[in-house]
Amino acid sequence: MDVIRYGDDPAQFGELSRPDGPSKGVVVVVHGGFWRARYDLSLGRPLAASLVEHGWTAYNLEYRRVGNGGGYPQTLDDVAAGIDALAAVDGLDTSRVMTLGHSAGGHLAVWAAGRSGLAGTPWATVAVPVTATISQAGVLNLHTAVHLGSGAARAFMGEQTDLAYADPSAQIPLRVPVRCVHATDDDTVPISQSIEYVDRTNAAGGDAELIEVDGDHFVVIDPQSPAWARTLEVLEALR
């Protein structure tokens, strides 16, 4: 595993792990935790290990979060810079780069896949384009998520009331495929977040699909679960 640092802050790094044989592509793992500092990239390590076992290059991304210098816009700055840092990694093929994020990480993963469309912002300049994205029980509409996680979205946005540049629902439709893996019994981030996003994307001419799985909010990040096996199938289909 290689540690890729993309800034001076202790949270500005990612863990890059490669398979033994040819790589199927790069998967950027973006952990969740409602954007709060007490949750870190250790949540993504089991997924990264599984991805490597299945022939993918895994990039488990850390970023500043609410409580350690993050929030809007710093967290978005970090996700953009962290992915773009892959352009400078020797011997890394970045022709196929997918983002995979859980919960708040799903928000960040889908946001990163669409940032090239954020005209007039520094985020629109992309060194490593995302070619597809998978949201695992993602927070995809900040407006309707204000009550989730004891006000986590409001804490993430801080004093910024204009959500246009931070909300994946404002980016619809993306130029790349979006797949939403969401458990039907999720009571942390309701599946309605994914249903609405997929319906609106397809109505706008985009490419989105909802993959319903059994279980709760965390089943999708359990490498031993059928939900994760289904996610691996979705990745294969996006190659």
pLDDT of residue 94: 97
pLDDT per position as a tens digit, 19-41 = 999 999 999 999 999 999 999 99
Could you tell me which residues come within 8 angstroms of residue 101 by beta carbon, excluding any fewer than 6 positions away? 29, 30, 31, 32, 107, 108, 109, 110, 133, 134, 135, 136, 138
Residue 11 in contact with residue 78, Cβ under 8 Å?
A: yes
Could you tell me which residues come within 8 angstroms of residue 221 by beta carbon, excluding any fewer than 6 positions away? 32, 43, 44, 46, 47, 102, 136, 228
What is the per-residue DSSP string for 43-86? GGHHHHHHHHHTT-EEEEE----BTTT-STTHHHHHHHHHHHGG
Taken in order 73, 127, 63, 26, the sign of the CA dihedral is: positive
53 CB-side CA count, 13 A: 9
Average pLDDT over the chain, rounded to whole?
97
Compute CA distances 102 → 32, 71, 231, whole Å: 5, 17, 12
Residue 87: is its pLDDT beyond 90?
yes
pLDDT of residue 1: 92
Residue 235: is its pLDDT beyond 90?
yes
Q: How many CB atoms sit inside 10 A of residue 125's CB?
A: 11
pLDDT per position as a tens digit, 40-75 = 999 999 999 999 999 999 999 999 999 999 999 999
pLDDT of residue 11: 98
Give the rounded distance of the alpha carbon of 96 from its chain centre. Answer: 15
Q: Where does residue 182 rank: exposed (0-12), middle (13-18), buried (19+ CB within 10 A)?
A: buried
Residue 214: is its pLDDT beyond 90?
yes
Span of 25-34, 88-97, 115-124, 145-154 with lowest mean pLDDT: 145-154
pLDDT of residue 161: 87
Q: Rounded mean pLDDT of 77-97? A: 97
Q: Rounded mean pLDDT of 222-228? A: 98
Quick one: tokens of 23? 């790589």
- pLDDT band, residue 146 (cuts 50/70/90): confident
Cis peptide before 177 (omega within 30 of 0): no
Share of the chain above pLDDT 90, in %: 95
